[in-house]
Amino acid sequence: MNAESGFEIKPVYDSGDLSADAEERLGRPGEFPYTRGVYPTMYTERPWTMRQYAGFGTAAESNARYHQLLKAGTMGLSVAFDLPTQMGYDSDEPIAHGEVGKVGVAIDSLDDMRRLFRDIPLDRVSTSMTINAPGSVLLLLYQLVAEEQGVPGAALQGTIQNDILKEYIARGTYIFPPKPSLRLVADTFAYCQAEIPRWNTISISGYHMAEAGASPAQEIAFTLANGIEYVRTAIAAGLAVDDFAPRLSFFFVARTTLLEEIAKFRAARRMWARIMRDEFGAKNPKSQMLRFHTQTAGVQLTAQQPEVNLVRVAVQALGAVAGGTQSLHTNAYDEAIALPTEKSARLALRTQQVLAYETGMVDTVDPFAGSYVIEAMTDEVEATATALIERVFGYGSAVDAIEQGFQKQEIEASAYRISQQIDAGERVVVGVNRFGADEEEKYEPLRVDPAIEAEQVARLGALRAERDGTAVEAALADLRKAAEGTDNVLPPMREALRRRATVGEVCHTLRGVWGVHQPVEHF
């Protein structure tokens, strides 16, 4: 049997499968090269941060869900935004029609962000926001709400995804071309260093590439290649590596292939530590640490026999924990059908709590260390991923490879190969190509009220009527001037948002200067 990354999985492993320098490659927890974890004690003193990704309909509905999750024991919030917000459009624009509030919460203005975090003390929660092209806009709205609560930027903790390069590869919610997008990322690094120093300024994501079909080795190779590109961009913008690198974070998937996933996480940590030390000269150990959030694999959930997804999610979560994740979101079992219900979201959180408090997984650091199969697989994943990174930079840069369609084509080939194996029955998917049920139980999914769009549009109309339109136009003009020059665009952007400019108005201002990305099709 071959691993998803392509190497052969042997029926039996022994000491002969370990590398000659296995001890050196392994190291100790909390020490270079961090194979065994980024902290000496890992979960023995406190477990990973348990997040639940949530956001649907209106800000008020999402706020209610956040309060339920916090009451149930969630330690951090993770915000899902609807597609118009992700693409920098307001809810009342024609292009947004039919998508408002569908796959996440609609956020058009400071007013919406206030409703989203009403009565949630932002100095006591860690918030992750899955937002990319307009990531800086949503972060500034969050900062403004915190200021209204009396919470200074220095007290805020969380992450914006802000990873635009993977959007060109696998997901598609980009706005601007790569070069101005990278400038916006570097401006965000610099702004947060001064204003929100505890914020993770980017979550360099392999998750969406994996959901598009990337193998574990492809996932970490293309993610780390993007990470290298961001570091190079920040250094070229005049930032010192040890000033911004400690705030970089990563985001990976956890699949059901337990052993390969554990090996993947360990290989990624080791590779990043060496890249940062040897290529960029990072001296601060925190600059060398690959800290990451994990989400269980939505693409592996099935609409057939959805209750079986409870088992899949538990196995995937176990792999993330055994692999040393810093935070974890567990998908609800019904997410292959619709947005999760309150009950299924609570069950997903309980899965993490069982792992943390009933299994003994938190009692010792890196329990799989020294396993013949895990160490051999870690070496295999690392070697495969390293070779892929070399192929990426054979094009010159990660952006050059993206523009040539390299990563996208490699991922599509991997997805096709796995699909063929499933169709042929070589890879078993329980309930799909084996062990089917004669009759599926009826399931009633959560539905999003179509009236949400009309309500959101009405709120936008009221906002535009109430605000000082002249002040908004002046603030947007200042933003346009910064975008045309070399000044950091975030301070004038914050002022425009404070004046109640909308997300769409801010993004359209930047579109007017930077243009929009036009993908090139490769056949």
Domains defined along the chain, listed by start: 13-357+367-422 (3.20.20.240)
Buried b (16+ CB within 10 A) or exposed e, 508-522: bbbbebbeebeeeee
What's the pLDDT score for residue 418? Answer: 85
Distance separating alpha carbons of residues 167 and 163, to the nearest angstrom: 7
Lowest mean pLDDT among 162-171, 240-249, 487-496, 513-522: 513-522
Q: Is the pLDDT of residue 441 over 70?
A: no
Please state the length of the chain: 523
Give the pLDDT band of residue 446 (cuts 50, 70, 90): low
Predicted TM-score of the model (pTM): 0.90
- The pLDDT of residue 54 is 64
On the question of pLDDT at 464 being above 60, the answer is yes
Distance in angstroms (rounded) separating the CA atoms of residues 424 and 418: 10
Question: What pLDDT does 326 receive?
Answer: 96
**pLDDT at residue 65, rounded to an integer:** 85
The distance from CA 282 to its chain's CA centroid, rounded to whole angstroms, is: 24
Strands 76-80 and 327-329: unpaired
* Cα atoms found within 13 Å of the Cα of residue 340, Cβ hemisphere only: 26
Q: What is the DSSP letter of 236?
A: H
Six-digit token string for 222:
């293309």
329 contacts: CB under 8 Å, gap ≥ 6: 51, 52, 53, 78, 293, 294, 295, 296
For 261-305, what is each residue's pLDDT tens digit?
999 999 999 999 999 999 999 999 999 999 999 999 999 999 899
Task: Summarize pLDDT for 327-377 with one digit per residue, the tens.
Answer: 999 999 998 887 788 889 899 999 999 999 999 999 999 999 999 999 999
Q: Positive or negative CA dihedral for 368, 372, 376, 379?
A: positive
In which band, very low, low, confident or very high, does the pLDDT at 523 lie, cut at 50, 70 and 90? very low
For residues 66 and 408, give the distance between their C-alpha atoms in angstroms, rounded to a whole number: 35
H or E stretch including 401?
A: helix 398-403
Could you read off the pLDDT of 13-26 as tens digits, one per residue?
Answer: 999 999 999 999 99
pLDDT top residue among 71 and 150: 150
Mean pLDDT over 194-213 rounds to: 95
Please state, for a pLDDT cut of 90, what percent of the chain lies above it. 81
Mean pLDDT, the chain, integer: 93
What integer pLDDT is reported at residue 395 of this predicted model? 97
pLDDT for res 443:
62
* Least confidently predicted of 28-37, 47-56, 139-148, 358-367: 47-56
Instruction: Check whether 522 has a pLDDT greater than 60.
Output: no
- The pLDDT value given to residue 53: 67
pLDDT in tens, 60-83: 988 998 898 888 887 788 898 999
CA distance 278 to 287: 12
Segments of 64-200 assigned E as strands? 76-80, 126-130, 157-160, 199-200
State the average pLDDT over residues 368-396: 97
User: What pLDDT is recorded for position 69?
Assistant: 83
Lowest mean pLDDT among 155-164, 184-193, 271-280, 431-440: 431-440
| pLDDT in the model for residue 55 | 64
Taking the C-alpha atoms of residue 127 and residue 148, their distance in angstroms, rounded to an integer, is: 17
Residue 85 has pLDDT above 60, yes or no: yes
